[in-house]
Structure 1
Amino acid sequence: MRRAVCAVLLAWVALAMPSRADTYPSRPITVIVPFAAGGPSDAMMRILAEHMKRTLGQPVLVENVTGAGGSIGVGRAVRSKPDGYTVSFGHLGTHVANGAVYRLGYDLVADLEPVVLLPSNPMIIVSKTNVPAKSLPELVAWLKSQSNPASAGTAGNGSGSHIAGLYFEQVTGIKLQYVPYRGTGPAMNDLVGGQIDLIVDQTSNAIGQVRAGTIRAYAVTDAKRLDSAPDIPTTDEAGLPGFHMTLWSGLWLPKGTAGEIVTTLNAAAVAALNDPAVKNQLNNLGLQMPSPNQLTPEALGTLQRQEIAKWWPIIRAAGVVPE
């Protein structure tokens, strides 16, 4: 009899107490950005975090955890408690390509819960200013004329900038000498300084330097010109038809996170993306906003699986291995 009474009391207490998901969030949330501070991923997430903290009522902190093409930072998020307080920021490189490059110790699909698709970057082909080429055909001709492969900066093997470089090699028949960095922010610094020759980079990372005249832009890897840089031609217009690549980003949580928490974070991110001031900041970075029907967790999960099917064969055929 006593056991039955205790069981009833415990059940009543459990029902009376709010669930952890109901009170979420009750403390600061950390978003792990797996690249160096100052780069395009870091800039995007900090803009979104500033708005999300107002919706969530708690600080949203950005932690930069670099190394191994972003796989170290993603791994830390995967192994964290599934309580909604550690979020994984990533993109095509970290949450697709790394699965074909590294022995991760985790599964990019099975061990993560998609939250929301974030703005995307078409890539942009840029060089240091003392490269003599003024157009994309001239750049291709100059690259082919070099006795040694030109140096191309990347954020590491399997990163978006590396995949874009491999794709560029495949389309043009050119060989490049890749120089890996801990993010495209540091790579851009060296491009401006003339230490490397070119980057096929995220538009958001390069557009400020293009506008300042410290690097030269040749084309964006999309079918349409950027609203924020309408003077830069597309690859179709510039002489490489079909050379399209978009570096999309997203947020994920560890597998097993409560659905209510996923919904809460999704709503906070969507509110940020719909804010006119945030849209303006992201547009100035050359970012493209997802359409409304792309903003569900399910849409991000579907896109991730489709991109794995597209890019893994290309990466594996190129024999990409960790640095």
Structure 2
Amino acid sequence: MTHPRPLSRRQYLQLSAAALASASGLPSAHAQSAAAPSELARIIIGPPPGTLVDLFARRVGEAITPAYARTVLVENKVGAASQIAVSAVKAAPADGNTILLTPMPMMGIFPHSYPKLPYDPVADFIPVSMGGVFDLAFAVGPMVPANVTNMAEFFKWCQQNPGAANFGSPAAGSTPHFAGSMAARAAGTELTHVPFRGTTPAILDMVGGQIAAVCAPLGDFIPFVAGGKCRLLATTGEKRSRFTPSVPTFLEQGYRDVVLDDWFGFFLPAKTPATKVDALGAALKTALNSPPLMKAMEERGLELRWTTSADLAARLKADIDKWRPIVKSFNFTAST
């Protein structure tokens, strides 16, 4: 497998160039006038309906209407681990009317795990703003006995029941995939990864007794935990999540490498005019600081976070660099 080299100075400048114009949150110097609201804009996402990112996209779409566009639609382009969605935005006109909302892995991890990725997260997109950050969680369903209450007990059960030692995730090569695999490696336990097309199908198979466990965004588990259909054994933050304070972190349980968070980010196609980048950034700043939206998303375990374009560019670069050695350590190559 060939792994991408670290970002060159030229690539990083390319990633940051459009971002710097919006770093202060003020209109860029070369923008002649503020962009007028569009008639129609689309937010493209890869995960299916019912997921956390889907709910978030729809609430944000409502919140940036009519400031950014008179009508904002959300389109789920499901398949190929969200590559269909990302590629659709890459190919869209650079007029600011096609917005990509994506979890980090499609931009920060996939360049290392998909040898024929159909897009370049640096060259093909302009970062606009982060949308939110969230912890991951590891949950078990009815296949796992009720007396299994932590990760050590789960891995002991897996060793005693190797045929059932598995976990699902939203996609191969996703942050949850690697989080679960990193924990299993630290425990010295063989744990079969079962990739799904999104979080919801994985959780439904878990609560239906088809697989033992799932690693996924914390917020996607909350409705199922409330209904008593699954149990959370660990979360991936440095500290316990304020949304599930009774659930210990991986770090507390001795898994020092499994300290991760994930994020959603908004991107526009490369060459989108700076006026549209600025306008979307401003609309998102208002939306993401709206108390009603913040409350609604906190109920699903998502902490909203607006950033400048430059801040998102820097975070993306950091994640691209961070995940390169992790992917390499698993000798992982994904296929669509």
Quickly name the TM-score band, shorter chain normalised.
0.7 to 0.9
Measured in 1, the distance between the counterparts of 2:112 and 2:254 equals 30
Hey, which bits of structure 1, 4+ residues long, moved more than 3 A?
19-24
* Alpha-carbon shift at residue 236 of structure 1 (Å): 2.5
Matches within 5 A, 1:77-96: 77-96=89-108
Q: Which amino acid aligns with 2:44?
A: I
Q: Which residue of 2 aligns with 1:29?
A: 41
**Aligned counterparts of 2:203 and 2:33: Cα–Cα separation in 1:** 41
- Aligned position for 1:283: 298
- Alpha-carbon deviation of 1:249? 0.9
Single out whichever of 117-126 and 144-153 deviates more from structure 2. Answer: 144-153
Structure 2 unaligned spans of 5+: 1-30
2:177 matched to which residue of 1?
162
Counterpart AA for 1:131: V
- Give the length in aligned residue pairs: 302
Q: Is the 8 A contact 1:155 1:183 kept in 2?
A: yes
CA 1:113 to 1:127, structure 2 compared with 1: closer, same or farther past 3 Å?
same
Residue 99 of structure 1 corresponds to: 111
One-letter amino acid matched to 1:74: V
User: What is the aligned counterpart of 1:237 among 242, 252, 261?
Assistant: 252
Q: Distance in 1 between matches of 2:110 and 2:84?
A: 11
SS in 1 for 2:108: helix
Given residue 223 of structure 2, which amino acid in structure 1 is its aligned partner? G
Corresponding position of 1:5: none
* Paired letter, 1:63: E
The answer to whether the 8 Å contact 1:137/1:239 transfers is: no
Q: Which moved more, 1:187-196 or 1:171-180?
A: 171-180
Quick one: structure 1 residues 164 and 24, their matched pair in 2 at CA, closer, same or farther if it must change by over 3 Å?
A: farther
Partner residue of 1:261? 276
- Name the TM-score, length of structure 1 as normaliser: 0.88
Counterpart position of 2:206: 191
Structure 1 residues 269, 166: closer, same or farther in 2, change over 3 A?
same
Q: Is the 8 A contact 2:183 2:255 kept in 1?
A: no
Aligned mates of 1:228, 1:55 — CA distance in 2: 31
1:215 corresponds to: 230
CA distance in structure 2 between the partners assigned to 1:49 and 1:76 by the alignment: 18
Structure of greater relative contact order (alpha carbons < 8 Å, 6+ residues apart): 2
- TM-superposed CA distance for 1:189, in Å, is 1.3
Q: Does the 8 Å contact 2:167/2:192 carry over to 1?
A: yes
Q: Deviations over 1:173-194 (max 9, x none)?
A: 2222222221111111111111
Distance 1:32 1:66 in 2: 10
Deviation per residue, 1:85-141 (Å, 9 max, x gap)? 111111122111121222123211111100001111100010113412122221121
Q: Which has the higher helix share?
A: 1
- 1:109 aligns to what SS in structure 2? coil
- Residue number among 43, 46, 50 corresponding to 2:62 in the alignment: 50
Q: Which has the greater radius of gyration? A: 1
Q: What is the alpha-carbon distance in structure 2 between the residues aligned to residue 317 and residue 256 of structure 1? A: 36
| 1:4-59 alpha-carbon deviations (Å, 9 max, x no partner) | xxxxxxxxxxxxxxx99744332211111011111121111112111111432412
CA distance in 1, matches of 2:35, 2:253: 53
Q: How many percent identity over aligned positions? A: 29
